[in-house]
């Protein structure tokens, strides 16, 4: 099960109190102030880590606090700084403040981090301030975490190639995730299981006709496709629409590289869809000869060849191509 939302409470450490103390000996009767400052409290920091995949832990673990600062001591001894609390979250976690809905950060990249609650500053010892002061309270916040699912696999291809049909066949409708208000232009996500593995697939619509210029497609789209690890390039091999399959194939690849060069370099598994339609077999052989690469003949409608395709995709995901 993938949990994609969590509400948690974070509390940064309060500052340690400043110390009030006096140096006394036989000669210094009145006593000289020598209380040290309190240490500052630790921050609560979120960091994106690609080894974390869900927000599941937060469902059972709602309270997260950083250490408080140590109190100051006599002899001008400064209190110890409280240790910051580092919380690892999946890449793609969006953090907002509950209530206000204020966006604190979208942790979109591996290693990116943000301080969500600041530790209180330590109080002043009476050396500097009479009398010594108490440490400031650490920030406390109620946070909303939302994991925008990151697709492992993006499905690209011409309109009507069969992308939607394919994703609804291979992903379990039941495991569809979240209440994301996807517009028609945003990718449709589905979780696909194969053997013991699981991956998020995204149907990437509209990747032609000026998509690379961003026309009508938001950054959202680009971000999703950029984050995928493998692309399924779906080609309509029935060719009933009067275009040739390899031209479709070339123009989608051209579009990808115009959009961003790195997209064109992503590993692609080529799926020739609608193999159930007569004439498709012949088109398929011709297509493979023409592009000089291997491709998978499939029918998103009948299910033919789908397992072999998924096997190839998951092999590619696990890096053993
Ligand atoms: P998308 O625009 O790439 O998402 O394409 P759709 O999934 O909406 O499919 C476009 C049309 O092709 C629909 O009418 C589908 O029923 C049909 N279609 C999709 N896959 C197949 C297939 O494998 N065989 C046949 N015969 N029709 C298909
Ligand atoms: Mg579609």
pLDDT value of residue 87:
96
Distance (Å) from CA 205 to ligand 2 centroid: 6
Ligand 1 close to Cβ of residue 321 (< 6 A): no
CA of 303, nearest ligand number: 1
Distance (Å) from CA 169 to ligand 2 centroid: 13
Which runs of consecutive H residues, i.e. helices, occur in the chain? 56-60, 163-170, 219-227, 245-259, 261-264, 280-291, 306-317
Pocket test for ligand 1, best of 165, 249, 272 (most atoms within 8 A of CB): 165
Domain 5-147 fold is Spo0b-associated Gtp-binding Protein; Chain: A, (2.70.210)
Strand ranges for 1-51 from DSSP E: 5-11, 22-23, 32-33, 44-48
CATH of 153-317, one of 3.40.50.300, 3.30.420.40, 3.40.140.10, 3.20.20.70: 3.40.50.300
Which residues, 6 or more positions from 321, have their beta carbon under 8 angstroms from its beta carbon? 267, 315
The phi and psi torsions of 248 (rounded to 5 degrees) equal -55, -50
CA of 238, nearest ligand number: 1
| pLDDT tens per residue across span 119-131 | 999 999 999 888 9
| pLDDT tens per residue across span 277-315 | 999 999 999 999 999 999 999 999 999 999 999 999 999
- Give the domain ranges of the chain: 5-147, 153-317
Ligand 1 close to Cβ of residue 280 (< 6 A): no
Ligand 1 close to Cβ of residue 156 (< 6 A): no
User: Rounded to whole angstroms, how far apart are CA atoms 192 and 62?
Assistant: 29
Note if the pTM is more than 0.85. Answer: no
pLDDT value of residue 202:
83
CA-nearest residue, atom 26 of ligand 1:
274
Tokens of 230: 């493998």
Q: Residue 95's pLDDT band (boundaries 50, 70, 90)?
A: very high
Please report the DSSP string for 66-121 in residue order.
PPPPPPPBTTTBPPPPPPPEEEEE-TTEEEEETTT--EEEEE-STT-EEEEEPPPP
Phi-psi region of 154 (alpha: psi -120 to 50; beta: other; left: phi over 0): beta
């Amino acid at each position: 099960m993938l949990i994609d939302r969590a509400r948690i409470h974070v509390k940064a450490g309060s500052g340690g109190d400043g110390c009030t103390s006096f140096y006394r000996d036989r000669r210094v009767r009145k006593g000289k102030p020598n209380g040290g400052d309190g240490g500052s409290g630790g921050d609560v920091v979120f960091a994106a880590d690609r080894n974390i995949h869900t927000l599941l832990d937060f469902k059972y673990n709602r309270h997260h606090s950083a250490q408080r600062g140590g109190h100051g001591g006599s002899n001008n001894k400064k209190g110890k700084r409280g240790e910051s609390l580092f919380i690892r979250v999946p890449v793609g976690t969006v953090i907002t403040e509950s209530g206000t809905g204020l966006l604190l950060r979208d942790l979109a990249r591996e290693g990116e981090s943000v301080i969500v609650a600041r530790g209180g500053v330590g109080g002043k010892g009476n050396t500097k301030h009479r009398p010594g002061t108490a440490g400031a309270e650490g920030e406390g916040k109620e946070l909303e975490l939302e994991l925008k699912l990151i697709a492992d696999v993006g499905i690209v291809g011409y309109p009507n190639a069969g992308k939607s049909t394919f994703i609804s066949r291979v992903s379990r409708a039941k495991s569809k995730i979240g209440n994301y208000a996807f517009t028609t232009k945003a990718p449709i996500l589905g979780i696909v299981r194969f053997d013991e593995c699981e991956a998020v697939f995204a149907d990437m619509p509209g990747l032609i006709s000026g998509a690379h210029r961003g026309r009508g497609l938001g950054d959202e789209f680009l971000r999703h496709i950029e984050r995928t690890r493998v692309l399924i390039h779906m080609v309509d091999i029935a060719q009933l629409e009067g275009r040739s399959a390899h031209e479709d194939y070339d123009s989608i690849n051209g579009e990808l590289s115009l959009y961003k060069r790195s997209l064109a370099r992503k590993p692609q598994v080529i799926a020739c869809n609608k193999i159930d339609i007569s004439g498709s077999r012949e088109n398929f052989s011709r297509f493979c000869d023409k592009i000089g690469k291997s491709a998978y003949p499939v029918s998103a409608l009948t299910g033919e060849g789908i397992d072999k395709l998924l096997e190839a995709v998951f092999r590619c995901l696990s890096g053993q191509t």
